[in-house]
Amino acid sequence: MLMGEHAVVYGKPALVTALSCRLTVSVKKNSFSDININARDLEYKTSIPLPDLYRYQAPRQMAFIIKTITRFYSEFNINDGLDISIKSQFSPQLGLGSSAAVTVAAFHALSVLFQKNLSKYKLFELAYRVVSDIQGKTSGFDVASSIFGGTICYQMDKKIVNLKKVNPPFLVVYTGVKADTGRLVNKVSQIKKKKARLVNRVFAEISALVEKGKKSYVNEDWSEFGRLMGRHQHLLFDLGVSTFKIEKLIDLALKNGALGAKLSGAGGGDCIIVLVEKNIKEKLAKILALHGGYIIDVDFESPGVSLI
């Protein structure tokens, strides 16, 4: 998430970019009437008899893949046994949208296997329903990013717009703290109920920042984009979703030449993004790493879901 945190849940626009970390879901039919799942990176392996699929109580880390299979099988009246394997280049601890990624990848793989020829918007509809069923109130921006790739302007119930590719000079830095997205979204919801006028003003300003940010992003005006990131971070701090560690890393980045920095996503931990000129990127990465930041080596504006 580049801009639009929390406000996007309430129908405001957001800027989102797809990262080069990939998650792979492989599927094939079997003749045993079982659903066999092998998620090596999560050290999880199970076999579910097909008659038990719809009442199976999945552990948290497997909830999205199980829900995806049950939704797809129900939607298209499928009763085949299935072998499914999941591999990921990144940990779900990082807060980089792994839940949406595995949901989208699994739906796409199943649609190809069973020849359902889903459009991107139908794929979005199915995956969004799974994520919202599990997480509760959600915007779907991570689902859209996993499908469409690149950098998009996303707004609920509006057409998804792909922006011009510009290869932005960002660093992604994990704070070392895993955040609970659902809890943070609920926290903002409770604040909104008590202080509706204040929160609505914050959301309106975030929305305006996204519109300005979209223009400066496309024009590669990084000085302006960095300034907008700073204001955005102040608003997220006011919402109560920043943390001491996030603020420490942001302050450190800005004092060492960053053009801008802010949390990315729900807050409470997970990652920050830092906008930095390429000539000092390596130096700044080392400084942040020395102070407890974990640099995630990624490219931006990557393709969305695809076959390999």
pLDDT reading at 92 higher than 90: no
- Domain ranges in the chain are 23-148, 168-296
| Amino acid (1-letter code) at residue 122 | K
- State the architecture of 168-296 in CATH terms: 2-Layer Sandwich (3.30)
pLDDT over 80 (residue 91): no
pLDDT in tens, 53-74: 999 988 877 899 999 999 999 9
Model confidence over 80-90: pLDDT tens digits? 999 999 998 87
Best CA proximity match to 7, nearest among 152, 160, 174, 155: 155
Quick check: 138 pLDDT over 90? no
pLDDT in tens, 216-261: 999 999 999 999 999 999 999 999 999 999 999 999 999 999 999 9
- 168-296 has the same fold as 23-148: no
Residues of the chain with pLDDT > 70: what percent? 99
Mean pLDDT to the nearest integer, 157-174? 94
User: How much is the mean pLDDT over the chain?
Assistant: 94
Hey, CA dihedral for 140, 18, 121, 62, is it positive or negative?
negative
String of DSSP letters for 6-73: TGGGGT--EEEE--S--EEEEEEEESSSEEEEEEGGGTEEEEEEGGGGGG----GGGHHHHHHHHHHH
Percent of the chain with pLDDT over 90: 85
Instruction: Look up residue 243 and give its two tokens.
Output: 């943390």
Residue 292 Cα distances to 33, 158, 242, 258, 280, angstroms:
48, 39, 16, 17, 19
Q: Is the pLDDT of residue 192 over 90?
A: yes
Average pLDDT over residues 211-218: 97
123-145 residues labelled b (16+ CB within 10 A) or e (exposed): bbebbbbbbeebbeebbbbbbbb
Question: Which positions ≥6 away from 87 have C-beta within 8 Å?
Answer: 23, 24, 26, 40, 41
Q: What is the pLDDT of residues 256-284, one digit of tens each?
A: 999 999 999 999 999 999 999 999 999 99
Confidence of residue 16 (pLDDT cuts 50, 70, 90): very high
pLDDT, position 135: 85
Identify the pLDDT of residue 287: 97
Q: 82 phi and psi, to 5 degrees?
A: -145, 135
Q: What Cα–Cα distance (Å) separates residue 225 from each residue in 152, 202, 230, 300?
A: 16, 18, 9, 16
Tokens representing 13 are 């626009």
pLDDT band at 95 (very low <50, low <70, confident <90, very high): low
Q: Are 299 and 177 in contact (CB under 8 A)?
A: no
**Over residues 25-46, mean pLDDT:** 90
Q: Are strands 271-275 and 260-264 parallel, antiparallel or unpaired?
A: antiparallel
pLDDT computed for residue 201 by the predictor: 97
Least confident of 42-56, 121-135, 222-236: 42-56
Task: Give yes or no for residue 93 having a pLDDT over 70.
Answer: no
The amino acid present at 284, given as its one-letter code, is: L
CATH class for the region spanning 23-148:
alpha beta
